[in-house]
Amino acid sequence: PQWKKFIEERLLMYTFANNKFMPPDDPMGRNGPTIEDFLRKKPWSPDNKLQLCPYGKKCTYGVKCKFYHPERANQSRLSVADELRALSGD
């Protein structure tokens, strides 16, 4: 149904902390739109879902970066520590 799709794509979860309205920075997760795109009158296009990282190859966030890195497309999303744990478990 159309109403279900609307709720999944357009419902904003929020919280109040000390009487301050606090919407999330990324309401649809790390690959979703930013809060600015989410609150637009027209929904975002699927082409804008993966935003390129403004730091590019100089990014120091590693796998925790919420932006898209084309140079890391085929790499594991696990942290180095998790990869080492997986290797030692074999």
* More confident call, 30 vs 71: 71
Q: What is the pLDDT of residue 87?
A: 82
pLDDT tens digit sequence for 16-40: 889 888 877 777 776 777 777 777 7
Q: What is the pLDDT of residue 3?
A: 80
CA distance linking residue 22 with residue 72, whole number of Å: 32
Q: What is the pLDDT of residue 49?
A: 60
Q: Helix count (H) and strand count (E) of the chain?
A: 3, 2
- Three-class DSSP category at 68: strand
Q: What is the pLDDT of residue 45?
A: 57
Q: What is the pLDDT of residue 47?
A: 53
CB 55 within 8 Å of CB 62 = no
The domain ranges of the chain are 23-52, 53-90
CB 13 within 8 Å of CB 27 = yes
Find the mean pLDDT for residues 36-57.
Answer: 71
CB 32 within 8 Å of CB 49 = yes
